[in-house]
Amino acid sequence: MVEEETSAGVTNQLHPPSTPLFACKDISLDLGGREILKDISLQVDRGEVLGVIGPNGAGKTSLFEVLSGRHTAKSGSVIFNGQDVTALPLYQRARIGIGRTYQTPVVPEELTVGESFKAARQAYKPYLTAQEESWARGLVRFWIDPNEPTVLLDTLDRRKLLLCCLMMRRPSLLLMDEPAAGLINSEVDEFDELIRILAKELNLAIVIVEHRMELLDTIADRVMVMDAGEKISEGDLGSVLQDPRVRAAYFEDVH
């Protein structure tokens, strides 16, 4: 509760507007002389899952590049935990709790699993302990032998290794770009269960690019739809799928 004294000397009690953990406002991005993103705004709070959908090439990954700090937007701002992080590079955003996963799980192929964990623990100070590593392994259910070369891991285990290394730092926001891409059906269920735990038990804020409507239906509180670099709809999954602009974006090519 905030107390404010008006010019008439009367004290008003104001409810401060609730600030979400993470937001971006009016993000525009040009790459190679082309407009890739136009005036994208979004927000997500702790314990909330925002799904992002849209046809291939809509700009979903490019948006994540801006939100995580890999690309610099032409205009717009990114706010995390009450701080304007628009000018912070990727590694600094990672340090303050913005975690990101990638469409393609690239592991350090010259290292073993154990060496990868060690590198992640010692990536920056304070170094993380073996307990924190084992907490993350338990969370992700990643039990591969530390001596295993990462180059031998299949896609599921690559995704799990990277997620363990990310979770060790206890990010409060996760930007997940197609986390189930490349997994076979029997693996997808296990990964989906993990995403549910991250979202609903660890109280993280999650923005997830995902094509599978059945997963979004169960975990996403809201869904935003992108097409050709713009946000064309946002709301609960049922209503955005009924939106004529969304239907046109998805089905206009199907003739």
The site for ligand ADP (CB under 6 A) is made up of 31-32, 36, 54, 56-62
The Cα 208–Cα 205 span in angstroms is 10
- Which of ligand ADP, Mg ion, none does residue 58 bind (CB under 5 to 8 Å by kind)? ligand ADP
Q: Which residues are within 8 A (CB) of 232 and not within 5 positions of it... i.e. 6 or more apart?
A: 54, 225, 226, 243, 245, 246, 249
Q: Is the dihedral of CA 61, 64, 68, 72 positive or negative?
A: positive
- Which of ligand ADP, Mg ion, none does residue 59 bind (CB under 5 to 8 Å by kind)? ligand ADP
Of 102 and 135, the one with the shorter C-beta distance to ligand ADP is 102
The Cα 137–Cα 128 span in angstroms is 13
Report the 10 Å Cβ neighbour count for 140: 24
The Cα 192–Cα 198 span in angstroms is 10
Q: Least separation, in Å, of the C-beta of 95 and ligand ADP?
A: 25
Q: Least separation, in Å, of the C-beta of 49 and ligand ADP?
A: 18
From the list 17, 1, 42, 86, the residue with the least C-alpha distance to 205 is 42
Q: Least separation, in Å, of the C-beta of 226 and Mg ion?
A: 10
- Which of ligand ADP, Mg ion, none does residue 32 bind (CB under 5 to 8 Å by kind)? ligand ADP
The Cα 18–Cα 180 span in angstroms is 33
Of 132 and 230, the one with the shorter C-beta distance to ligand ADP is 230
Of 97 and 229, the one with the shorter C-beta distance to ligand ADP is 229
Q: Least separation, in Å, of the C-beta of 190 and ligand ADP?
A: 24
* Amino acid in the structure at residue 181: A
Is residue 98 within 8 A of residue 166, CB to CB? The reply is: no
- Which of ligand ADP, Mg ion, none does residue 62 bind (CB under 5 to 8 Å by kind)? ligand ADP
The two three-digit tokens of residue 127, written as one number: 């170094």
Q: Least separation, in Å, of the C-beta of 60 and Mg ion?
A: 5
Of 61 and 172, the one with the shorter C-beta distance to ligand ADP is 61
Of 136 and 209, the one with the shorter C-beta distance to Mg ion is 209
